[in-house]
Structure 1
Amino acid sequence: MSTVATIDTHVFAPLLLLNNAHARETSLLDEQRFSDLVEQAFYARAINGAEAFLIALDQGAKYNSPNFLWFKERFERFVYIDRVITADSARQRGHARALYRDLFTVAALAGHKRVVCEVNSIPPNPASQAFHAALGFELIGSAQLGPLKTVDYLMCPLNH
């Protein structure tokens, strides 16, 4: 069973280790940067301690990620999924889906109309593309971030 809970200090260390084990897909963080990200997050929740987590920011965050800024230039209000990671040992248990559904509920209750994210298209990430499509995300743009990296920008409208 997936128990979704707010990220607090007692799970920082294992979540930071989980994040950094997947730095290739997200980004490497030190303790201070991870703490800052969680503190300014609109949504920062984990499942079963440190089996999985999702951190999302809203339009008011002070964040200079080129992907976040792409959305900020286009939308007045949004919730941006910055990172979602599931431990290898906890895959195929529905953790990511549970976190997304919880985020959708929290965002809608806060009056948001959209949740946004990006997914790599080069190198391709067909599993993530399929996962997001199944949850209702739609392609709204793309950007080349380097010679070997292109991302698709996705949006999921929230029903009120």
Structure 2
Amino acid sequence: MKITRVILIVIGLAGLFLGALIMVQKERPDQILGVIVWIGAAIIVHDGILSPLLLLLDVWMRRAGRRIPFGVLAIVQGGVVVGAIMSMLVLPEIYKKSIGTKNPTILPLDYGLNLALFWAAVALLTAAACAIYLRRRRASSPASSASID
């Protein structure tokens, strides 16, 4: 396991180095500064907003853990993570559209509405996955196999 971890870290560092090298060679300094600002903002949003919210959700759900099966906790946490990742990807577009662009065809969609619809779809699919999980769990439990006359 340790050698695998070392190999993955080396591959990751090599990828970061190669990406930074290509970016410095091909991009203008103002574009590099923009990437640095975006990465900094992403770290702040992730570490300052999303991670604490997920931690609170995790604590709240684990306190209810006697009533909620672990599989349901995992499904809900997975749904929240998927939604958070999509939000991180779409928030720059929402911001840029709000301040405007010189070319209106660059950001033609309503990204805020699309993100809200995405969150609704994630919530619906997460609820459906939880329902399917609970139904299968109930069907395979020994108590359900005993017939009551």
TM-score range, shorter chain: under 0.3
Q: Which has the higher helix share?
A: 2
TM-score normalised by the chain length of structure 1: 0.26
Larger Rg: 2
Q: Which has the higher strand share?
A: 1
Higher relative contact order (CA 8 A, sep 6+): 2
